[in-house]
Structure 1
Amino acid sequence: MDKDDQRVIALYTRFFEKFGPTHRALDWTSAEGQNERFSRFLDLGLENGDSVLDVGCGLGDFLAFTRERGLILAYTGLDMTPAMIDYCQATYPNDRFHKGSLLDTPLPWGERRFDWVVASGIFAHRRHEPWAYMCALVDRMKDLALKGVAFNAQSTRAPYPELWTLFHADPDQTREYCTRPGWTVIVRPTRDRSDFTTYLWRTPPE
C-alpha cells in the first residue's frame, strides 16, 4: 500500500468511529443511493452459487443486500480498512473477509479466481494519479474474474464541476480503456449522470 492508501484507510476509520456501521461510515449520502448502485451490479447476471469478490467491501453491505433479495453467493470481501474488516468478520462469521488491497502481492486467497468481481465507491477519494490507480485495479479485477466485472465511479459529466472535491472519471475514456479483445463492455450512467457503472463480460450476456 502507498501513502494515499494509508490516507484513505485513516479517513474511513474516522468515518466508522464517528458514524458507526451505517452508510455514512462509507461516505454514501444515503442508504438508498448505496443500494441503488448495488442493484445495478445484479444486472451482471449473478446467480445462486456464483462466487463473488467484493473489492472495497466496507461493512459487507453488498452481501446483506444480495441475501435480502434471496441471492445466495459464495462471497469474499476485501477492504483496506482494518476496523471495517473486523466488523465484517464479527457480523458475518461464516463468510470470507480479508484485509488488504487488490494490488497486494501475494493476494490472501492465493491463485483463486471468482465468477464475478465487483467494486462500489472505491475510487472517489484517490488523490495520487487516480486514473492510473483506477486502471490498475480494473486490470486486476479482470484478471481475477471468470465471468465478469462491474464497478462504478463518479462521472466527469456530473453537474456543478466547480463543487467537485473527489475524483471523477470520464465514462468514454473508461469504456475505451476497458474494451479489449474477448470482452463485452457496457457503460451505464445514472439518471442525473453524476456517476456511471461499467460492466465487463468475458462472454456476451444473453
Structure 2
Amino acid sequence: MDELSKEYVISFFERSLMLHGDRPEAVRWTAGGQTAHYRSMLDIGDLSGTKILDYGCGTGGMYGWLRDQGIPVDYTGYDINPKLIEAARKKYPEARFGVLDAEETDLGEMFDYILLCGVFNLRVQGVEDTVRKTVARLFRQCRIGLGYNGLSAFEPKQDFELYYCRPDELLAFAIREISPHVVLRHDRMRYDFCLFIYRQANAFETRKNEDAL
C-alpha cells in the first residue's frame, strides 16, 4: 500500500473516532457485529495461556473482549494509527499497545497466534496486494497459526467504500505460498469469512471407543 493510501486509512479512522467516539461504529461495526467477529476468531484454537498479536487492534476492543470472557493471554496490540493506539492505552493501561506498520517494520519477536480481524476492510489502491504481503510476512512470526478475517467478495450488495476479498483466491494463495495447513470458514457471519493458516496439521480429536472401530 502506498503512502497516500495509508494516510487515507489513518485519516478515515481518526475522523470516525472523532465522530463516534470510542465505539464499534468508529471502525464501521455495530456492537453485535464486533462481538461476532471476535468470537469467530476463536475458531483458530485455544488461546488460553498463549502469546498473541492483535494486528490492526484499533482501540483495543479485542483485548477488552478476551479479558471479559476470562481468556488469559499474553496480549500485544499493534496498529498504524497513533490516535487509535493512544485511545487503547488510555482504556487498557495494563495491556501492551504500539504503533507499527508490518509492511515496513519487523516485529522483532515471535507470537503463538497472530490475528487480523477486519483490518483491511477499506477499499484503497493496492489493498489486495497488501493483504497478501502482510499475511505472508506476519506468518513468519507466529509459532502456531495466523487468523485473517475479511469481507467476502460474494456479498451481492457491496458498499463502494469497502474492500471485499475473494476468499477462494486468498485460500489458494495461502496454500501455494505460505502453508498447506489452512482452514477457510464462510459460515459464521453473512458474507464474512475467516482464514486460518497453521504451521502444522491439526491433530484429530480423540474419540471415545475410537480404538474399537
TM over 0.5: yes
Map 1:188-203 to 2 at 5 A.
Answer: 188-190=185-187, 193-203=190-200
Q: 1:131 to 1:182 in 2, by over 3 A?
A: closer
Larger radius of gyration: 2
| Deviation sequence 1:9-54 (CA, Å, 0-9, x none) | 00000011111110011111x1111111111111111332200000
Find 1:171's aligned residue among 167, 172, 179: 167
Q: 1:140 to 1:205 in 2, by over 3 A?
A: same
Separation of aligned partners in 1, 2:127 and 2:20: 26
2:4 is matched with: 3
Separation of aligned partners in 2, 1:189 and 1:47: 21
Query: Gaps (5+ residues) in structure 1?
Result: none
Q: Does 2:135 correspond to 1:130?
A: no
Would you say how many aligned residue pairs link Structure 1 and Structure 2? 201
Separation of aligned partners in 1, 2:172 and 2:67: 34
1:74 is matched with: 74
Aligned AA for 1:57? C
1:50 is matched with: 50
- Tell me by how many angstroms 1:202 deviates: 1.1
Assess if the C-alpha contact under 8 Å between 2:41 and 2:117 holds in 1: no
Map 1:120-159 to 2 at 5 A.
Answer: 120-159=117-156
Q: Does 2:120 correspond to 1:119?
A: no
Separation of aligned partners in 2, 1:76 and 1:96: 5
Q: Secondary structure at the match of 2:140?
A: helix
Among all aligned residue pairs of Structure 1 and Structure 2, give the percentage whose two residues are the same amino acid. Answer: 27
| Deviation sequence 1:37-79 (CA, Å, 0-9, x none) | 1111111113322000001101111111111111010000001
Assess if the C-alpha contact under 8 Å between 2:123 and 2:161 holds in 1: no
Q: 1:89 to 1:165 in 2, by over 3 A?
A: closer
Assess if the C-alpha contact under 8 Å between 1:158 and 1:192 holds in 2: no
| Deviation sequence 1:73-125 (CA, Å, 0-9, x none) | 00000011111101111221121101121112244xxx211000001111111
Separation of aligned partners in 1, 2:45 and 2:188: 22
Aligned AA for 2:58? G
Query: Gaps (5+ residues) in structure 2?
Result: 204-213
Q: Which runs of 4+ in 1 moved over 6 A?
A: none
